[in-house]
Structure 1
Amino acid sequence: MILTGPEMAQAVATGDIHIDDFDPARLEPNSYGFRLAPDLLVYDRQTLDSQRAPTSRLLTMGAAGRVLEPGRFYLGSTMEAMGSPHYAATLYACRSVSTLGVWIQFSAPLGHSGAVFPWTLEITVANPVRLYPGMVIGKLAFWAMQGQPLLYDGKYTGSTAAVASRLSEDLTTVPSRKGA
């Protein structure tokens, strides 16, 4: 069951939901509007190897923002650290942002219970688009869970900003098969 805005505000007040820094003006009927942090990561190579940690470079947006280009993949983050040990969360783009041709999340919208940190955003654009640090770019919804919570304690625990893929930590080299 999805939480309403007033229910989220109450859960923030009791400490059941963590949103740093919480602003009641960004509450919506069933979500909370989060902001884009000023730093973006871009991968250094066009071809990435899933068995090797990717290298990236940091781009910092100033007050004038930054034009993001099509055909480029950016990792951004939320300004807010958000999450809950009592609820699962899902992350979505704002409709106004997505109708500009901006995608902020491709395949990892689920926030497990216990995961509380700035969320990494997977950003790409259909057209050149100028984005600004601090702009509301998406929404987070919280969901009641059934059963005993199992708290997240994975490789992204402790993140403080956008994080490049850590898939290589899960993979081992698969030996090639003769004749394959």
Structure 2
Amino acid sequence: MILTGSDIDREVLAGRIHIDDYDRERLEPNSYGFRLAADLLWYEDEIVDCFEAPVAHREAIGTEGVVLLPDRLYLGATMEAMGSSHYAATLYASRSVSTLGIWIQYSAPLGHSGAVFPWTLEIKVAAPVRVYPGMIVGKLAFWSMQGEAVNYAGKYTGSRTTVVSRLSTERATRPELQTAGAP
């Protein structure tokens, strides 16, 4: 079951949900509004090879904002480190941002229990649009779990800001990839 805003508030105050810089004003009926961090990056390679660590350009978004362009994947982050060992979470764009043609999450909205860090956002835009650090771009919802909770201990554990794909780290640990004839 999804937690209500008042449940989120209660669980933050009890220490069962972690949200840096928690502000009750950003509580919604079933979620918590989060902000865009000032760290933005995009891949520099013309072709990104999933078996190689990607090369990325990193830029700080100043107070004047930055214009995002279509046909480029940007990676941003939430200003807040958020998560819980007691709940799973899902990340969504705010309606106000999505109706501007900004998509902040394409394929990885699930936050496993135990994953507490700034979330990396997968950002694309339909048309050029200026964004600013600190603007509310999305919401995080928390969900009760059934069964025994197992905390996340994956390759993004300990993240402190926007993180590039770490898929290339799996190559050495997966025998089927070592023998598949990949370069």
- With structure 2 as the length reference, what TM-score do the two structures score? 0.95
1:100 is matched with 100
Cα deviation for residue 173 of structure 1 reads 3.4
1:8 is matched with 8
Q: Does 1:175 align with 2:160?
A: no
Question: Which whole-Å CA distance do the structure 1 matches of 2:130 and 2:179 have between them?
Answer: 42
Q: Does 1:138 align with 2:138?
A: yes
Question: Which whole-Å CA distance do the structure 1 matches of 2:179 and 2:53 have between them?
Answer: 17
1:69 is matched with 69
Cα deviation for residue 59 of structure 1 reads 1.0
Range 67-76 or range 168-177, more displaced:
168-177
Cα deviation for residue 43 of structure 1 reads 0.6
The one-letter code sitting in structure 1 at the alignment partner of 2:43 is Y
The one-letter code sitting in structure 2 at the alignment partner of 1:176 is G
RMSD: 1.1
Question: Which whole-Å CA distance do the structure 1 matches of 2:80 and 2:180 have between them?
Answer: 42
Question: Which whole-Å CA distance do the structure 1 matches of 2:123 and 2:16 have between them?
Answer: 29
Q: 1:51·1:173 contact (CA, 8 Å) conserved in 2?
A: no
SS of 1:170 mapped into structure 2: helix
Identical amino acids, percent of aligned pairs: 64
Cα deviation for residue 170 of structure 1 reads 1.1
Any gaps of 5 or more consecutive residues in structure 1? none
Cα deviation for residue 174 of structure 1 reads 3.7
Cα deviation for residue 176 of structure 1 reads 3.4
Question: Which whole-Å CA distance do the structure 2 matches of 1:83 and 1:44 have between them?
Answer: 30
Question: Which whole-Å CA distance do the structure 2 matches of 1:112 and 1:38 have between them?
Answer: 25
Question: Which whole-Å CA distance do the structure 2 matches of 1:39 and 1:168 have between them?
Answer: 22
